Amino acid sequence: MSLLKWWENAVIYQIYPRSFQDSNSDGIGDLNGITSRLDYIANLGVDAIWISPFFTSPQHDFGYDVSNYCDVNPEYGSLEDFDNLIDKVHKVGLRLMIDIVPAHCSSLHPWFEESRQSRENPKADWFHWVDPKPDGSAPNNWLSFFGGLAWSWEPRRQQYYLHNFLPEQPNLNHANPEIREEFNKIARFWFDRGVDGFRLDAVHTINGDTPPYRDNLADPNFVLGPLPQDKQPFFRQLHDVAQLNQPVIQEFSKAFRKIAEEYDGDRFLMGEVDGDEGNAMNVSEAFSEPGRLHATYNFDLLEWSGLTVLELKEAISNAIEVFNGSGRLCFAFSNHDVPRSATRQLEPLGISVDKQDDLQLLLLQLETSLIGSTCVYQGEELGLGDVTDIPLDKMKDPWGINFHPEFLGRDTCRTPMVWDKKQPMGGFTSANQTWLPIAEVHLEKAGLGMAKNTKSIYGEFSKFLQWRKKQSAMMHANIMSKVSGGPKEIIFNRVSNYQKLRCKFDFEKVKATFEEVKHGTS
């Protein structure tokens, strides 16, 4: 039996529900669709599922703009469907995590609709309302992640309100204890339904310590480069001084942790956090101090343009310098916000397209050999690549639409999963169209066929995860040696009291090898 809690070395399968499986023929994935594919997930050998938001939402940011945190958006089903899903998840031996969005809600949430009416209503200070400067301009120089100012004007109050993302995603004022109490109720609502943990979205963007709303400083190290980051004005600023990573966030973290500990079964809290360049590990360490979140979701392997072998070594080394011996960090190579690793990592690692599948398997083995937990994004187990030929009139991501054609946004990694290449729409739906186009190039890697093929990425990764569960060095401790190896290698040892395991990832041969070595051997 593992000496670690389940989440300290878990492999977590991320589902973007809109694109996983449609069960009611509307071209949009849903909860019952997920339930129908649980055997596929369980047979892969993962430990848990994380589902991106499925709450009631106008879908301006596809679920990350929540208008009711305690109900299911009708497109995805009902609370009854969710209860059935979690029951089935537990029956197949998995755990279920859901995605809570604490920093902002939808502009159509009743909280905001009331707050924006006047300066005197009961929810008047539930959001960040600030008077204009004497010349009528915004209170400061803060910018939105998605482009433009982080402030929008509300004529009824004659004030600006803060939104770190879209104007339809107003930031909640976490300095108000009533906000924290509402989120405490939300946590209990889902824990009472049996949820095993939360992935907490963009926790570092919670605001509450903002007055007097100081300007962000310019980043002296800014270098003009490609979108989405280097050419976007947001990334010309330093944010940790004023706009992001404010102390009030930890009041939220401590309150959620206290609630999680009221429940049996090791309920898990994983926060998505980030910081200015060079500060990410310090931010992660602060968020996962005792009494706060259990772990943080690490962005360092998710660089939009990919990482070289040297940069991978640096990212891993920075992480183990802070977190070696703990399960307080979660690694990922892909998610719903960045290009897929099977495409993104080819050029920086110098891998030819004919070795793309070998590279994808190698990356999966690497991330699940590191300390802490791992998130695997739907389709990584198939080696799905990015989809870059979506026409503008079919695009959905507001970020991509705003910056088209130079930047394609996040639709490229969100196209629907394909399950059977012989079926219309790849078996994703029986409808004649889907919310995003089905990628024809994905059909040869349809999930059900790959799951039956022991030589596919799915088959090889499944065998690897079965083997991993038998390795004491990976299951009984979170200890790594320093990272070494030549220019095209990443080598480290995983160590427990019972085993030392040499892990070698060769990016020349595009192959991983594992060798048990005697204790005392370097």
Alpha carbon separation from 265 to 5, 187, 188, 522 (Å, rounded): 10, 15, 14, 38
User: Considering 80, 131, 261, 262, which one is annotated as catalytic?
Assistant: 262
Q: What is the DSSP letter of 350?
A: T
Cα 521 to chain center, whole Å? 38
Residue type, 440: E
User: Considering 201, 274, 411, 460, which one is annotated as catalytic?
Assistant: 201
Active site residue 201: yes
* Phi, psi torsion values for 51, nearest 5 degrees: -105, 125
Residues 6+ apart with CB under 8 A from 60: 106, 166, 168, 169, 398
Closest CA to 105 of 122, 128, 121: 128
Structure tokens at 282: 């310090």
SS3 sequence of 387-442: CCCCCHHHCCCHHHHHHCCCCCCCHHHCCCCCCCCCCHHHHCCCCCCCCCCCCHHH
Alpha carbon separation from 50 to 190, 198, 463 (Å, rounded): 14, 8, 22
Active site residue 262: yes
Which residues are registered as beta bridge partners of 173? 207
Q: What does the CA dihedral 333, 337, 342, 345 come to, rounded to 10 degrees?
A: -70
Neighbours of 177 (CB within 10 A): 10
User: Could you list the active site residues?
Assistant: 201, 262
